[in-house]
Structure 1
């Protein structure tokens, strides 16, 4: 297969990098397998890219502390429009799960994009600062996220939200965790069921560690990165037959009974094939699926393609999904 970058996206990305003082021809950093320190040290770069967008006003952040299953106090950040309490009736809400390859990230890192989605859609986001690997291996991250969902259900009425209109959404590793939370909610018979799952370029399959040489020049999250993230989460079990679907949702056998699903990914993303297969399998299981494969863009394209036509299209699709339940 011939891969190429969308030219408009590339031009916008170069402008973003120049704004940060980075030469446009500087190669994407590559780190050896298992090098957590370097990957974590590079993480603040994503926030710098997000901060290039105009500041979002009219969205308020409120912090809550929620006990996890082991007693740990989970920080949860609620993002709501300032006029949230205006009008009558209960509102929809989203449990938002941040990205970071299972090994870094926070609600604060992705706050600008969270606020932008809230401002555009009016749908409140509750972003959970789940514990990351390897300090917290599976099942801690997904159980943290599920505890946040259970808390949101229990407090929904007092906070002004409709329990029947709660969705789970996540980006990258957060998308994988969102898919796993949806599986837990189904299997634990959460009532009422989740209204929707919104999976943005989700990290679903721990077996995806074999490099595609033709795609390699374009990737921003590499197979070595993927190996590092899954190894941190699963240890020696990564890639083996013993991995739980609640860790790697691509492993699940039965996809029936899951909520309406939105899923997207870029063609230059190492997750493209696993995400497309997951979308196909969901449809075959009778789940309503909206699927988008964006040509010519890599993993994390929403962070580096400000102003590009393809990113505008993707954001409109994502925000439409947030309004749909």
Structure 2
């Protein structure tokens, strides 16, 4: 297969680099396989890009906690518009799970982007600071996220939220965790069930560690990075036969009974194939699926190509999915 960048995205990515004072054709850094420390240090680049997002006025931030199975208090940050927070009728909500390859990231890093989504949709986002690997291996991250869901579900009325209209929303690793939380909610009989899962370029399959040399020049998250993240989460057992679907949702044999699903990804993302397979399997299992494959953009395109047409299209589609919870 022949790969190439979308020209408008490529021009906008160069513009973002120039804003940051980097050479416009700066190559994407590569990190040693299995080196979590180096990959975390490399994530500082994403933090700098995310910091370019403008401050969003009129968003109220409140900190809560949910109790995990091991007694850990999972931080949850609610972002709400002043109008939505004062509404007399129960409102929908998104449980938001940030990205970071299972090994880094936080609610704070993605805060400006989250605020922008809340301002644009008027839907409250409850962002979960789940623990990450390797300090917290599977099942700790997904159990943190599920504990946050149960907390939001049980406290919904007091928070002005309709617990029949809660979606799980996740980006990258957070998208994989969102899919896993949906499986947990189905299997554990959460009632009312999750209304929707919104999976943005989700990280779903621990077996995706074999390089495609033709795609390699375009990657922003590589197969070595994927190996590092999955093995940190799974104690070096990524790709083995014993991996739970709650760790890697692509492993799930039964996708029946899952909520309406939104999935998107770029063609230059190493997750494109696993995401498309998951979307097709969900549809075959009877789920309502909205699927978007964006041509010529890599993982994290919404941040690097901030002003691109394709970024605005994806952003509009994602926000419409949230508004239709």
- TM-score, length-normalised on structure 1? 0.99
Tell me the CA shift for residue 87 of structure 1.
3.6
Output the CA distance in 2 between the equivalents of 1:156 and 1:304. Answer: 35
Q: Which residue in the other structure is 2:315 paired with? A: 315
Tell me the CA shift for residue 72 of structure 1.
0.6
Q: Which residue in the other structure is 1:120 paired with? A: 120
Aligned residue for 1:310, secondary structure, equals: helix
Are 2:92 and 2:162, in contact at CA under 8 Å, matched by a contact in 1?
Answer: yes
Are 1:137 and 1:234, in contact at CA under 8 Å, matched by a contact in 2?
Answer: yes
Aligned residue for 2:66, secondary structure, equals: strand
Q: Which residue in the other structure is 2:43 paired with? A: 43
Aligned residue for 2:46, secondary structure, equals: helix
Q: Which residue in the other structure is 2:70 paired with? A: 70
Output the CA distance in 1 between the equivalents of 2:34 and 2:72. Answer: 27
Output the CA distance in 2 between the equivalents of 1:51 and 1:236. Answer: 33
Q: Which residue in the other structure is 1:59 paired with? A: 59
Moved more, 274-283 or 31-40: 31-40
Aligned residue for 2:94, secondary structure, equals: strand
Q: Which residue in the other structure is 2:156 paired with? A: 156
Q: Structure 2: any 5+ residue segments left out of the alignment?
A: none
Q: Which residue in the other structure is 1:276 paired with? A: 276
Output the CA distance in 2 between the equivalents of 1:226 and 1:39. Answer: 11
Output the CA distance in 2 between the equivalents of 1:166 and 1:65. Answer: 18
Aligned residue for 1:126, secondary structure, equals: strand
Q: How big is the alpha-carbon RMSD for the aligned residues of Structure 1 and Structure 2?
A: 0.8
1:106 lines up with 2:106 in the alignment: yes
Q: Which residue in the other structure is 1:210 paired with? A: 210
1:11 lines up with 2:11 in the alignment: yes
Tell me the CA shift for residue 54 of structure 1.
2.2
Aligned residue for 2:234, secondary structure, equals: helix
Count residues in correspondence. 325
1:292 lines up with 2:313 in the alignment: no
Output the CA distance in 2 between the equivalents of 1:236 and 1:106. Answer: 23
Output the CA distance in 2 between the equivalents of 1:221 and 1:236. Answer: 19
Are 1:201 and 1:272, in contact at CA under 8 Å, matched by a contact in 2?
Answer: yes
- Name segments (4+ residues, structure 1) moved above 4 Å: none
Are 1:35 and 1:228, in contact at CA under 8 Å, matched by a contact in 2?
Answer: yes
1:32 lines up with 2:38 in the alignment: no
Output the CA distance in 2 between the equivalents of 1:77 and 1:87. Answer: 19
Are 1:103 and 1:133, in contact at CA under 8 Å, matched by a contact in 2?
Answer: yes
Output the CA distance in 2 between the equivalents of 1:75 and 1:319. Answer: 24
Are 1:261 and 1:287, in contact at CA under 8 Å, matched by a contact in 2?
Answer: yes
Are 2:164 and 2:193, in contact at CA under 8 Å, matched by a contact in 1?
Answer: yes
Q: Structure 1: any 5+ residue segments left out of the alignment?
A: none
- TM-score, length-normalised on structure 2? 0.99
Deviations 1:80-118 (A, max 9, x none): 002223342100001100000000000000111110110
Deviations 1:112-131 (A, max 9, x none): 11101100000000001000
Q: Which residue in the other structure is 1:324 paired with? A: 324
Are 1:98 and 1:170, in contact at CA under 8 Å, matched by a contact in 2?
Answer: yes
Output the CA distance in 2 between the equivalents of 1:297 and 1:55. Answer: 26
Tell me the CA shift for residue 238 of structure 1.
1.2
